[in-house]
Chain A
Amino acid sequence: MRRAVSLALALFCLAAPPASAADTVNPKADFKAFRDYFTKRFPNVPLNDFVNGPYSMDAELRKQWVEIDAFPPYQFALDKGKQMFDTPFPNGKTYGDCFPNKGIGIRQNYPFFDAKSGEVITLDVALNQCRQANGEEPFDYTKDDMAALTAYMAYTSRGKLFDIKIPNDRRALAAYQKGEEYFYTRRGQLNFSCASCHVQSPGDHIRTEVLAPALGIVAALPIYRSEWGGMGTTSRRLITCNSQVRGVPLKPEDELYRDVEYYLSYMSNGLPISGPGARP
Chain B
Amino acid sequence: MPALMRLAVVLFATGLATAALAASADGFKAAYAKAEAAENQAGALKNQWTTTEAELKAAKKAADAGNFNDAIKHAQQAEALANASIAQAKEQATAWKNAVVR
Contact = CB atoms under 8 A, between A and B. Distances in A.
Tell whether A and B belong to one assembly: yes
Contacts of B78: none
Contacts of B97: 20, 22-23, 184
A188 B45 CA distance: 12
Given A22-B100, A180-B100, A184-B99, A189 B50 contact: yes
A247 B101 contact: no
B96 A186 contact: yes
Interface string A230-260: 0000000000000100111010000010000
Nearest to B42: A248
A275 B13 CA distance: 69
Interface stretch (A54-62, A78-86, A191-199): A191-199
A248 B50 contact: yes
B79 to A, nearest CB: 14
B49 A37 contact: no
Contact of A34 (B49, B51, B53, B101): B101
A222 B102 CA distance: 29
A226 interface: no
Contacts of B88: 186-187, 191
Contacts of A193: 96, 99
- In this complex, the interface size class of chain B, counting residues with CB under 8 Å from chain A, is 20 to 34
A1 interface: no
B53 A248 contact: yes
Contact of A33 (B46, B53, B92, B102): B102
A185 B46 CA distance: 11
Given A180-B100, A193-B99, A246-B51, 15 more contacts: A30-B100, A184-B99, A184-B100, A186-B92, A187-B88, A189-B49, A191-B88, A199-B101, A246-B50, A247-B47, A247-B48, A247-B49, A247-B50, A248-B53, A250-B46
11 contacts: A23-B97, A34-B101, A184-B99, A186-B88, A186-B95, A188-B49, A189-B84, A189-B85, A193-B99, A248-B53, A256-B46
